[in-house]
Amino acid sequence: MKPIVAIIGRPNAGKSTLFNRITRSRNALVDDFPGVTRDRIYGNACWDNMEFTLVDTGGFGDDDSDGFAGQVRFQVQQAIQDADIILLVLDGKGGISPYDQDLVKILRGLAKPVFYTVNKIDGEEQSDRLYDFYALGIDSLYPISAEHGYGIHDLMDDLIQALPQAMETEAPDVVKLAVVGRPNVGKSSLINRIMGQQRLLVSDVPGTTRDAIDSLCEINGRSYLLVDTAGIRRRKKVSKKLEKFSIIKALKSMDRCHIALIMIDAVQGVADQDVHIAGYAYERGCGCVLLINKWDAIEKDSHTAKRFIEDLRLKAKFLNFAPVLTISALTGQRVARIFAVADEVYAQYTFRIGTGKLNKIIERAIASNEPSLVRGRRIKFYYGTQVSTRPPSFVLFVNYPEAVHFSYRRYLINQIRMETSLDKTPLRLTFRKRSGKRGGARKTKP
């Protein structure tokens, strides 16, 4: 696996800004008040062809005004334990704080390289801000500006010299699962149950998770990347700028996943927002598994599951292909079953149909049910081909593509499903006017 570098420091020292600069991304949320980052955020970084994993952490402090200080401290300590190299970020504008002194004491006892940086130094003319920090007993300080890039090259050139060599490469066939849903439906609790540790913060306060968090696990010899995301609220309830960014990141997580695990609260029932979230996943071409969580917390009879699933199917008709599981992240009920179902979905999600077989399916479908006439003219289907997987996507070439009714499109998709047993994956079907060249191309998910 790649070597790991953890960024730590007190709140608002500029850790997330440094993370974004080194990873050349905006994966960590950045705002101008303390406590924005709570969980550990993982990102891929490369400097002078040396690849490593960079970890952003929450601010290390004692202020428990939002009830998360103790859990954030635990996450920071876990990151320190897991890392090969530590990057301590000190605030060049704010000066030394008691939290800095506590961190330096912890780091002195480590048998691993530690790089001490003083952030918010925008140039040599501000180097006098370093002097106060030598009182911490540190011999070597790196003046940097995470925001403007000053001093970053010198820091990184020295850091990569201290990196251990990568032991192995990441498995190429990793199934990416995004855990999505409304706030407080149990997304983080589910991942913690799967990972067998307190990998993510868990709280009854809606909105605990703000970033999209990646967790890699291996189950029955297969690798899965689990992405926990911020709860997606109704738009009119999203007022804070930070929460809007969190929702955007949750939607982007669906763009890079293969399968969306859409969590629904069994206690609250199927809400309109659950259907909206399912729609986001469908629009992005994700495979979907519907997880009805907190099944242990409701009173049940022999027909409860049937009624709940029927209500869900009625409200989210566009996901009639998606498997449904009733689970409890708290007790672990049927959690292990998620991966068997995800494997079935992924197998269909990556399935490819031969051109000859596809055209025979279309021919039989048209023979059984011809499309309606358009202005007295018959719609002719010439040939079809599968242009991509993830999800399986097909193009049919016809003489009047714009005249094919959506109901006939749905009919053809259902015929493909029946004859190929692709009953657990989204299918995409488009129509094009025949030209001199056959087929086309469409990007697939990574």
User: Is the domain of 60 the same as that of 19?
Assistant: yes
Q: What is the CATH number of the domain that holds 300?
A: 3.40.50.300
Average pLDDT score over residue span 129-148: 92
Distance CA 399, CA 371 (A): 12
% of the chain with per-residue pLDDT over 90:
52
pLDDT band at 68 (very low <50, low <70, confident <90, very high): very low
Per residue in 95-110, pLDDT (tens digit) is: 998 888 888 988 887 8
User: Is the domain of 32 the same as that of 61?
Assistant: yes
User: Is the domain of 241 the same as that of 189?
Assistant: yes
Residue 20 lies in a domain: yes
Distance CA 188, CA 199 (A): 8
Residue 444 lies in a domain: no
Question: What are the beta bridge partners of residue 293?
Answer: 265
Q: Which domain holds residue 335?
A: 175-349
User: Is the domain of 98 the same as that of 40?
Assistant: yes
User: Is the domain of 15 the same as that of 144?
Assistant: yes
- Confidence check: pLDDT of 38 > 50: no
User: Is the domain of 231 the same as that of 319?
Assistant: yes
User: Based on the structure, what is the number of domains in the chain?
Assistant: 3
Per residue in 231-269, pLDDT (tens digit) is: 565 555 444 444 444 555 666 778 889 999 999 999 999
Indicate the residue among 349, 384, 411 that finishes a domain: 349
- Confidence check: pLDDT of 32 > 90: no
% of the chain with per-residue pLDDT over 70:
79
Classify burial at 343, counting beta carbons within 10 Å of its beta carbon; exposed 0-12, middle 13-18, buried 19 or more: middle
Cis peptide before 3 (omega within 30 of 0): no
Whether 228 contacts 219, CB under 8 Å:
no
User: Is the domain of 391 the same as that of 291?
Assistant: no
User: Is the domain of 117 the same as that of 234?
Assistant: no
Per residue in 151-204, pLDDT (tens digit) is: 999 999 999 999 986 544 444 578 999 999 988 899 989 988 998 855 544 444
User: Is the domain of 84 the same as that of 147?
Assistant: yes
- The pLDDT, as a whole number, for residue 166 is 53
Residue 123 lies in a domain: yes
pLDDT band at 11 (very low <50, low <70, confident <90, very high): confident
User: Is the domain of 333 the same as that of 385?
Assistant: no
- Confidence check: pLDDT of 40 > 80: no
Average pLDDT score over residue span 319-337: 96
Average pLDDT, the chain: 83
Indicate the residue among 349, 371, 405 that finishes a domain: 349
Q: What are phi and psi of 225, to 5 degrees?
A: -105, 115
User: Is the domain of 180 the same as that of 315?
Assistant: yes
- The pLDDT, as a whole number, for residue 353 is 96
Indicate the residue among 323, 349, 375 that finishes a domain: 349
User: Is the domain of 154 the same as that of 182?
Assistant: no
- The pLDDT, as a whole number, for residue 175 is 94
